[in-house]
Chains A and B, each alone.
Chain A
Amino acid sequence: MRDELYQQTILEHNRNPRNYRKIEGATHVAEGYNPLCGDHLWVYVKVNASGVIEDAAFEGSGCAISKASASMMTAALKGKSVKDANVLFEEFHRLVKGDLKPDQQANHLDKLTVFSGIWQYPARVKCASLSWHTMHGALEKTKTVSTE
């Protein structure tokens, strides 16, 4: 039996996504698109002079997994340095592929481990990782990110 994908945390973030807005004066913006299912979002990040993420937000449409993932990501990024954000990106990437077992390996994922069972749903991994790839693209100054 696979782990339940739609846990309460995910359903709750889908219903009430955090930071669902545009950031005027964002320092980094990128558009993410998953052509397979039509998930489409924009990620906004505001980084201050000392390299700390002051604000992170998103807008767009998609399934519950992509929305909850974007919501939880923006919440997790605030207050982190760009360097730490990139570490988190790498860890999340390994988590959704099933390469990082959060109960066995040290990590900084905290609440994001709610996505630890998603590798058992290969068709849905991209839903969870879209916002992260988009955020990463924004920080790397890539304008459009596609999961394909």
Chain B
Amino acid sequence: MSTFNVQKLRHEFPNLNITVHGKPLVYLDNAATTLKPRCVVDAINAYYVTGVSNVHRGVHYLSEQATAAFEYSRQVVRQFLHARRVEEIIFTKGATESLNLIANSYGRHFLKKGDEIIISHMEHHSNIVPWQMLCEQTGAVLKVIPINERGEIIFEEYTKLLSEKTKLVSLVWVSNSLGTVNPVKAVIEAAHKQGAVVVIDAAQAVTHTAINVQELDCDFLVFSGHKVFGPTGVGVLYGKEKWLEAMPPYQGGGDMIKSVTFAKTTYNVLPYKFEAGTPPIAEVIGLRSALEFFQNIGWDAMKQYKQELLDYGTKMLLSINGVRVIGTAREKTSIISFVVDGVHPHDLGTLVDQEGVAIRTGHHCTQPVMEFFKIPATARASLAFYNTKEELDILASSIKRAKDIFNA
């Protein structure tokens, strides 16, 4: 193992200290949501205990403090994504809302009957359904990039789908159910040659790799705060300024207007045009702490450590008789989906929980992926930097116990 100091980092996550059914918690459900470091909880707490105010409207002390903290978070997100301008950072309630915002605002404004939208077979439902709804509303057509047995998109098939009809490509960077890391840069380049805009769902990518939206040249990118050690209820939409300027507002309300009369309303400037109503202030402030904490760890050592965990976990699972790993892409993040002969994923989930092990079981909001691999569900261990080899050993022994109980 590398010199990465995992024990020191674990101290920052109070949730790791709990016991479940009398056993120490082994939290391996990080693709669903990550645990929160103390600094995030403290930041939220500080806002609620001594800093409560709405933002962008009062002239009093608390309001100015809250507004400054809120807008500082936007700066931190801009820097996290390496966006050109702070106006390109829109706060939403999560990646799902960000995608719906794009589909409703950009999609309904720019797409028409016969236009084509391309997604992939491994998308999360949140990157399928908004586009299906858009197609129903506009008459646009949804095309799907097929995947291979390893769980990788077939790039040649993608290039065949691209044509002058393609107006939008929306792709997951890192698959939540397979762990596949997609070649987003090449996908974006190919789409741009056809004049299509590209949306990147970075919900799982944010903890996998550093993001530079200018280098990627994506038109939009979305993520959720809670999957990067931040609070639930806050997400981010990055959009190129030229698109955000051209797009109509998504929701109407306070904060998103310049002036309102019954004859005419003029909309506020970016980013406020897309932030109607009181935003999740505490959550935005908490997200800043999460991103600062996370970035301070240092990518290189963390990436290496997580790769070691992935390799160890994969090898360990495959050494158990009857275990099959679903998703064997050549480039993968630390997400391991698997099935166990003779033990249904849901029974496995309940049985390993009795040993304190939290894994996710089900279709992971990717039913087309389950259909492709002809399985109803998988068990999924998704690893964060605070996980350890010892925890993976506990997962292994709890799987063996489940197999024993089932005589599998």
A residues apposed to B, CB below 8 Å: 1-2, 5-6, 11, 14-15, 36-40, 61-65, 121, 123-124, 127
Q: Does B351 contact A (CB under 8 A)?
A: yes
Instruction: Kindly specify which of B91-99, B187-195, B342-350 makes contact with the partner chain.
Output: B342-350
* CB-based contact B344/A63 at 8 Å: yes
* CB-based contact A64/B406 at 8 Å: yes
The smallest beta-carbon distance between B29 and chain A, in angstroms, is: 13
**Told that A6-B347, A64-B347 touch, could you supply 6 new A-B pairs with CB distance under 8 A?**
A5-B350, A37-B346, A38-B377, A63-B344, A65-B346, A127-B346
For window 348-390 of B, CB contacts with A under 8 Å fall at 350-351, 361-363, 370, 376-377
* CB-based contact B406/A11 at 8 Å: yes
Expressed in whole angstroms, the Cα–Cα distance for A61 and B22 within the complex equals: 33
Expressed in whole angstroms, the Cα–Cα distance for A63 and B361 within the complex equals: 11
The smallest beta-carbon distance between A128 and chain B, in angstroms, is: 12
Q: Does B407 contact A (CB under 8 A)?
A: yes
Q: Which residues of A contact B1 (CB under 8 A)?
A: none
Q: Does B405 contact A (CB under 8 A)?
A: yes
**Beta-carbon contacts of B13-31 to A below 8 Å, as 1s and 0s?**
0000000011000000000
Interface residues on B, range: 10 to 19
Expressed in whole angstroms, the Cα–Cα distance for A60 and B346 within the complex equals: 16
A6 and B405 in contact (CB under 8 A), knowing A64-B347, A65-B347?
yes
Instruction: Report which residue of B343, B345, B347, B362 has the largest number of chain A beta carbons within 10 angstroms of its beta carbon.
Output: B347
* CB-based contact A38/B347 at 8 Å: no
Chain B binding surface, main DSSP class = mixed
Expressed in whole angstroms, the Cα–Cα distance for A38 and B344 within the complex equals: 11
The smallest beta-carbon distance between A102 and chain B, in angstroms, is: 22
The smallest beta-carbon distance between A14 and chain B, in angstroms, is: 8
How many pairs of residues, A versus B, come closer than 8 Å at their CB atoms? 47
A64 and B344 in contact (CB under 8 A), knowing A6-B405, A38-B363?
yes
* CB-based contact B350/A61 at 8 Å: no
Name the residue of chain B whose CB is nearest to the CB of A67. Answer: B344
Name the residue of chain B whose CB is nearest to the CB of A2. Answer: B21
* The 9 nearest A-B residue pairs measured at CB: A38-B376, A63-B344, A63-B346, A64-B347, A38-B377, A63-B347, A37-B346, A37-B362, A6-B405
Name the residue of chain A whose CB is nearest to the CB of B343. Answer: A64
The smallest beta-carbon distance between A74 and chain B, in angstroms, is: 19
For window 387-408 of B, CB contacts with A under 8 Å fall at 405-407
A124 and B346 in contact (CB under 8 A), knowing A37-B361, A37-B362, A38-B362?
yes
A38 and B405 in contact (CB under 8 A), knowing A64-B344, A65-B347?
no
Q: Which residues of A contact B343 (CB under 8 A)?
A: 64
Expressed in whole angstroms, the Cα–Cα distance for A127 and B345 within the complex equals: 13
The smallest beta-carbon distance between B375 and chain A, in angstroms, is: 9
- Can you list 5 A-B pairs with a CB-CB distance of less than 8 A? A6-B347, A11-B405, A37-B376, A38-B362, A124-B346
Q: Which residues of A contact B347 (CB under 8 A)?
A: 6, 63-65
Q: Which residues of B contact A124 (CB under 8 A)?
A: 346, 350
Q: Which residues of B contact A1 (CB under 8 A)?
A: 21-22
Q: Which residues of B contact A36 (CB under 8 A)?
A: 362
The smallest beta-carbon distance between B359 and chain A, in angstroms, is: 13
Q: Which residues of B contact A121 (CB under 8 A)?
A: 350
The smallest beta-carbon distance between A130 and chain B, in angstroms, is: 12
Q: Which residues of A contact B346 (CB under 8 A)?
A: 37, 39, 63, 65, 124, 127
Expressed in whole angstroms, the Cα–Cα distance for A61 and B346 within the complex equals: 12
The smallest beta-carbon distance between A1 and chain B, in angstroms, is: 8
Cβ-defined partner of B376 (8 Å) among A5, A61, A127: A61
* CB-based contact A6/B351 at 8 Å: yes
Q: Which residues of A contact B407 (CB under 8 A)?
A: 11, 15
The smallest beta-carbon distance between B331 and chain A, in angstroms, is: 28
Q: Which residues of B contact A127 (CB under 8 A)?
A: 346
For window 296-351 of B, CB contacts with A under 8 Å fall at 343-347, 350-351
For window 33-70 of B, CB contacts with A under 8 Å fall at none
Expressed in whole angstroms, the Cα–Cα distance for A5 and B21 within the complex equals: 14
Instruction: Report which residue of B344, B350, B376, B406 has the largest number of chain A beta carbons within 10 angstroms of its beta carbon.
Output: B344
Instruction: Report which residue of B346, B363, B377 has the largest number of chain A beta carbons within 10 angstroms of its beta carbon.
Output: B346
The smallest beta-carbon distance between A56 and chain B, in angstroms, is: 23
Q: Which residues of A contact B370 (CB under 8 A)?
A: 38
Q: Which residues of A contact B21 (CB under 8 A)?
A: 1-2
Cβ-defined partner of A40 (8 Å) among B22, B345, B351, B376: B376
The smallest beta-carbon distance between B173 and chain A, in angstroms, is: 26
Q: Which residues of A contact B344 (CB under 8 A)?
A: 62-64
